[in-house]
Structure formats: structure tokens, C-alpha cells
Amino acid sequence: MTEAEWQAATDPKAMLRFLEGKVSDRKLRLFGVLCCQDFIALLDPRSLKALNAAGRFADGRLGSSGLSRALTHATQALQESEGGLRQGELVIKWLCHKNMSQCEGIARESAEYTAAQQPRHMRNATRRVARSRRASAIRDIFGNPFRPVTADPSWLTSTVLALAEGIYVDRAFDRMPILADALQDAGCENEDILNHSRQPGEHVRGCWAVDLLLGKV
């Protein structure tokens, strides 16, 4: 995959395959949790509990023992699931494994599961929309692998760090343009991080720009 292909990609499975072995378990898990939000209302309570645990583990707010308990809940729900619901339960069980070395499949599984809940005549359109959203989320979380950005210590003023922490904790991504202004005030001239912070598209938990400033991988 070339840089131009990465920027234009709409196939999350191909993007994840390209990233395999190059990204952290944390970011993969955050992406997976995000994928599951589209069908969260349909989940068995045990799967919902497991999904929430996977998100907390990714954020460092839950230990390994808690994730193991979540895996037990997810496994029980999967064993009792039926029909189209099984795809979603499989994704959640995968998210509760401590080792996230296998990333291929989650985007496909979650997109297909979302589409399966729609009337037949809407499924193809729903799948295309879901795949496009997943691809955009991948670019937001993992950034541009062809153009990695390193944070200059001079950017990390108290204002920048406070803004980044608030955005992450509160999921207040509407503050991203304010963060870009604070970065410029701190002397940042890197167009990639400034443009990304000001872009009108949706940002999500794990956004590479916020993670970079907070030292999260």
C-alpha cells in the first residue's frame, strides 16, 4: 500500500492488514470497541459488560484479572448467541483477549454484523457506509504510517497538556481546534498535527494527535 492509497482507502480490512505487527494492542482494542458501538443496543448484558471492560483495559483503568473475567462473560454470551448476533459476540470475545496480535477480521466482522441488522435491500449501502467510517476511524487512530510525527518537547506546555488530557478524558473532540491553536502558540509548525486537529471529520478515542501529546501508544 502506498501513502496515496492509504489516504484514499475505504477497505478497513486491507488497512488493518497493512498495519499488522506495526501498532499497539491498545490502539487495536480501542478501534475494536469503537466498531462495536453500532450494535451496542442489541448486546447481551454479559457482552455489554465485557465490551465496557475491554475499553477500560485499553485505557489502563482495568487490570488483567478484570479482563479475564470479561473474557468469561463474553464466552458465555457467545455460547448462547444465535443467528446474526453471533458475529458481534465473536468480536467482543476477541477484544477481551490480553494478546491482540491478530487484528485482521474485526473491521469485516463488525461491518458485516451491522449490515445484517438492516432490511435486505439496505444491507449493501449500510456495509459501504460502515466500511467508510471504519477507514476514517483507522486514519484518526493510527495516523499516517508513511509520515510519523514525533512530539517536540517544546510543544508540551501546561496548556497543551491540559487541553489534550481534557479532550481524552471527556471525549471532547470539539476542542481539537483549540488544541491546534495552543500548539501553534507553543511553536509547533508541523502541518500534519495542526491540520489533523483542525479537520472537520470525526475524531475518536485513541486519536493519534491526542495520544502523541499525552505519550500514549
Same domain flag for 24 and 106: yes
What's the structural domain count of the chain? 2
Which of 142, 165, 185 lies at the terminal end of a domain, its last residue?
Answer: 142
26 domain-assigned: yes
Same domain flag for 101 and 196: no
The grid coordinates listed for 13 are 480490512
Long-range contacts of 40-47 (CB under 8 A, 24+ apart): 42/85, 42/88, 42/117, 43/77, 43/88, 43/89, 43/92, 44/77, 44/80, 44/81, 44/85, 44/89, 46/73, 46/74, 46/76, 46/77, 47/73, 47/74, 47/77, 47/78, 47/88, 47/89, 47/92
Same domain flag for 50 and 105: yes
17 domain-assigned: yes
147 domain-assigned: no
43 domain-assigned: yes
197 domain-assigned: yes
- Per residue in 175-214, pLDDT (tens digit) is 999 999 999 999 999 999 999 999 887 899 999 999 999 9
34 domain-assigned: yes
148 domain-assigned: no
The DSSP code sequence of 111-153 is HHHHHHTS-GGGHHHHHHHHHHHHHHHHHHHH--TTS-----G
- Say how many C-beta atoms besides its own lie within 10 A of residue 184's C-beta: 14
Same domain flag for 53 and 77: yes
Same domain flag for 77 and 177: no
Which of 117, 142, 167 lies at the terminal end of a domain, its last residue?
Answer: 142
Same domain flag for 78 and 166: no
Domain residues for the domain of 104 are 3-142
Which of 107, 142, 177 lies at the terminal end of a domain, its last residue?
Answer: 142
The grid coordinates listed for 215 are 505519550
pLDDT tens, per residue, the chain with 217 residues: 999 999 999 988 889 889 988 899 899 999 989 988 877 888 889 999 999 999 999 999 999 999 999 999 999 988 887 766 677 788 888 889 888 765 455 655 655 555 555 555 556 666 777 788 889 999 999 999 999 999 999 999 999 999 999 999 999 999 999 999 999 999 999 999 999 999 887 899 999 999 999 999 9
